[in-house]
Homo-oligomer: A and B are copies of this chain.
C-alpha cells in the first residue's frame, strides 16, 4: 500500500487510529471529541478528568507578523477552547517548546508571557513541560488537564431532533487577526452547562460547516441553517461562504431543545450583554446540512472545511 497522508486526509487518519488503538477501562471519552475524559477514582470519590493537547507550528498556525506574545497566547488559548467545548474547568498545563538556538531570550520570554497570560486569565497553572531545540521552524505544544462535572459535560453527540442551533459571536475572517487574540469561551460554556438545557456543544475550529457536521454525525441527525441568521464577522467582508468555512473562530456552537431556546436567549443577553448569541437553525432527522434562504430555497452544504493534510491555511 503506497497511500500517503495527503491522500488519506486527516479525518481518514483519525478513523484509522480510532479503529486500531485499544480502548481502556476508565476511559469515558476517547479519540474523537474535543477532549478526552477519563475516570479517576471510583464511587463518591470518583472524578472526571479532562485531557487535551494542541500544537501550533510556525508557518502553519502563525507567521512572522505574529508577535511572540500572541504566539504564546494562541498556543494556550486553543486547547482552552476545547475545554470550553466540553464545559470543562481547565487547571494545569504543560508546555513543550521547540525553539531555535539563535532565538533571542527576550523573544522566548515574550512567548511564555503570552502563555502565562492566557493560562492565568482562565485559572490555569503552568506546572511543567520541556524545551527541545530545533534547527528549523519552531512550535509549541500545550497539554491541558482539568476537571468536569460528569453531569455538566457536553459532547458532540448530544444533539436531538427539534433542537435549536446557537452560535456565539460572529464568524469568518479570523485569519485577519482574531486567531491570535481570541478569548476561549470558558465562562460562557460553564454558564451554559449550568442552565441544564444544552444538548451537543463544540468549539468552532474547523469552520461552522465542518464543526456542525461533527455534531450531526456524532448525534446521528441533520441540520438546517437559515442563511440570513448566520452572524458574519466584519473581518469576513460580508462573505457568507467565509462565515461557513473559515477556521479558527473559536466560538461555541451548541444545541438546545426548541422549547427552551427563547428563555435561554433572554438569560444569555442578561448574563453576557456584550457577546452576541444567534439562533442559526434547527436539528432535523436524516443526514447532512442544508442552507435555507428567506424565500425558502435550500441547498445542500458540503462540509469542505479545513483538512490539515489536504488544504493549506494561514
Given A53-B53, A53-B128, 8 other A-B residues pairs in contact with their CB atoms under 8 A: A5-B100, A13-B108, A22-B120, A22-B125, A24-B124, A44-B45, A55-B132, A57-B98
Interface residues as binary, A126-147 with B (CB distance below 8 Å gives 1, 0 otherwise) = 1111111111110101010101
Encode A107-127 as 1/0 by CB contact (under 8 A) with B. Answer: 011001100100010001111
Q: How far is the CB of A177 from chain B (nearest CB, A)?
A: 22
Q: Would you call A30 and B102 a contact (CB within 8 A)? A: no
Q: Given A51-B145, A309-B133, do A23 and B125 touch, yes or no (CB 8 Å)?
A: yes
Which residue of B has the minimal Cβ distance to A10?
Answer: B131
- Whether the pair B49, A145 counts as a contact (CB closer than 8 A) is yes
Q: Give the segment of A32-40, A157-165, A167-175, A230-238 that binds chain B.
A: A32-40
Q: Which 9 A-B pairs have the closest CB atoms?
A: A24-B125, A143-B143, A36-B127, A45-B45, A36-B128, A6-B101, A53-B94, A3-B105, A141-B141
Pick from B5, B10, B99, B133: contact of A103, CB under 8 Å: B5
A273: interface (CB < 8 Å): no
Residues of A within 8 A of B (CB): 1-8, 10, 13-14, 16-17, 20-24, 26-27, 29-32, 35-36, 38, 40-41, 44-45, 47, 49, 51-55, 57, 59-60, 91-92, 94-96, 98-106, 108-109, 112-113, 116, 120, 124-137, 139, 141, 143, 145, 147, 308-309
Q: Which residue of B lies closest to A4 (CB)?
A: B102
| Chain A interface mostly | mixed
Please indicate the chain B residues that have their CB under 8 angstroms from the CB of A147 in the complex.
40
Bound complex: CA A143 to CA B129 (Å) = 9
The distance from the CB of A50 to the nearest CB of chain B, in whole angstroms, is: 10
Q: Which residues of B are found within 8 Å of A20, using beta-carbon distances?
A: 109, 112-113, 116
A24 partner residues in chain B, CB cutoff 8 A: 91-92, 124-125, 127
Known: A5-B108, A41-B45, A102-B4. A92 touches B55 (CB 8 A): no
**Is the beta-carbon distance between A104 and B3 smaller than 8 angstroms?**
yes
Max count, chain B CB within 10 A of own CB: residue among A2, A23, A126:
A126
B residues in contact with A91, CB < 8 Å: 24, 26, 38
User: Is A16 in contact with B96, judged by CB distance below 8 angstroms?
Assistant: no
From the candidates B31, B32, B55, B102, name the one contacting A96 in the complex (CB within 8 A): B55
- Shortest A20–chain B CB gap in Å is 7
Q: Are B54 and A16 in contact (CB under 8 A)?
A: no
Closest Cβ–Cβ distance, residue A124 to chain B (whole Å) = 8
Specify which chain B residues have a CB less than 8 angstroms from the CB of A113 in the assembled complex.
20
CA distance A17 to B119 in the complex (A): 14
Q: Which of A100, A105, A128 has the most CB of B within 10 A?
A: A128
Smallest CB separation, A40 vs chain B (Å):
6
